[in-house]
Amino acid sequence: MPSPTYHDVIDAAQRLEGIAHTTPVFTSRTLDALTGAQVFIKCENLQRAGSFKFRGAFNALSRFDDQQRKAGVVAFSSGNHAQGIALAAQLLGIPATIVMPTDAPAAKVAATREYGARVVLYDRFTEDREQIGRDLATEHGLTLIPPYDHPHILAGQGTAAKELLESTGPLDAMFVGLGGGGMLSGTALSTRALAPDCLLYGVEPEAGNDGQRSFRSGSIVHIDTPATIADGAQTQHLGDYTFPIIRDRVNDILTVTDAELVGAMKFFMQRMKLVVEPTGCLGLAALLNEGDRFKGQRVGIIVTGGNVDIQKYAALLSEAS
């Protein structure tokens, strides 16, 4: 498939109309006072299934032909992509199979099953999930939908920034969490179309800075699974579709520590009454690191998701700062 353009984001937005939530954009006087900027928070933690992943998943599945719809979709993920695919498949009447590790949080396995998906468990230490996914795809004629490196996925993710910029008008800077780059590349398509001069930053956990290294070296860097609380950004490399778009349209990739993520998580909870998962805190944590560099400017942040285990959330919030 050819590399997607902003036209594909517009097409995705039409498919998502009336199905995905147009999530709210919140502001905080405290945050504006802290940064000197006017900050706009796009709340994808309030998206259906709890993260922006539903956008790309529904967009991709809505393009299946009759045969693909009948046979079904397969995805491998222990996180938000699984829930996004499972819900999108349920809404479209497509059978879904999700390959998850045996040690995935029970709540996530249960949520995926509640959306009607068949869950196939595998042992992370002895089995290869991509191989299992591919075997299921060939044996049963299922269509494999990857979590980020797919034109319809990244075009769907780009609809969040499109909505944000349509509601705020052009912004001076935008901060977006980065894993495999579906969200950032889709955001880049929307931002370059609607606010060409906006500075666009991807934000990664410091322990998994493959995206930053790829961006700065000009070719895709692979790393081992990084140890970070940002489980949605534990990806090992950018994708063949996502990397070139990021390389050509993003201004820089920044990193934040786990402690900074916890600080942002506490801010969201205490000051804005928003439940945000650690990965969803990447954008705010990076902005807070910039001090008053964006003083007097209009800054956008995409809060990417809110799916966090209650025990884990409580433990992180009660960490001393």
Return residues touching ligand PLP (CB under 6 A).
51, 53, 79-80, 147-148, 157, 177-184, 232-233, 235, 277, 279-280, 304-305
Count CB atoms within 10 A of the CB of residue 105. Answer: 18
Q: How far is the CB of 303 from ligand PLP (least distance, A)?
A: 8
- Cα distance between residue 113 and residue 86, in whole Å: 8
Instruction: Report which residue's Cβ sits closest to ligand PLP.
Output: 305
Q: Which is nearer to ligand PLP, 64 or 148 (CB)?
A: 148
Q: How far is the CB of 292 from ligand PLP (least distance, A)?
A: 26
Q: How far is the CB of 16 from ligand PLP (least distance, A)?
A: 16
Q: How far is the CB of 33 from ligand PLP (least distance, A)?
A: 27
Q: Which is nearer to ligand PLP, 190 or 235 (CB)?
A: 235
Q: Which is nearer to ligand PLP, 53 or 192 (CB)?
A: 53
Q: Give the strand order in the sheet containing 252-256.
A: 25-26, 38-43, 298-303, 173-177, 199-205, 252-256
Write the DSSP string, 29-50: HHHHHHHSSEEEEEEGGGSGGG
In Å, the largest CA–CA distance within the chain is: 58
Count CB atoms within 10 A of the CB of residue 20. Answer: 25
SS3 108: helix
Q: Which is nearer to ligand PLP, 151 or 177 (CB)?
A: 177
Q: How far is the CB of 211 from ligand PLP (least distance, A)?
A: 8
Q: Which is nearer to ligand PLP, 53 or 298 (CB)?
A: 53
**Helix pair angle (182-194, 6-16), 10° resolution:** 110
Q: How far is the CB of 101 from ligand PLP (least distance, A)?
A: 16
Q: Are 280 and 315 in contact (CB under 8 A)?
A: no
Q: Which is nearer to ligand PLP, 98 or 140 (CB)?
A: 98
- Cα distance between residue 171 and residue 157, in whole Å: 19
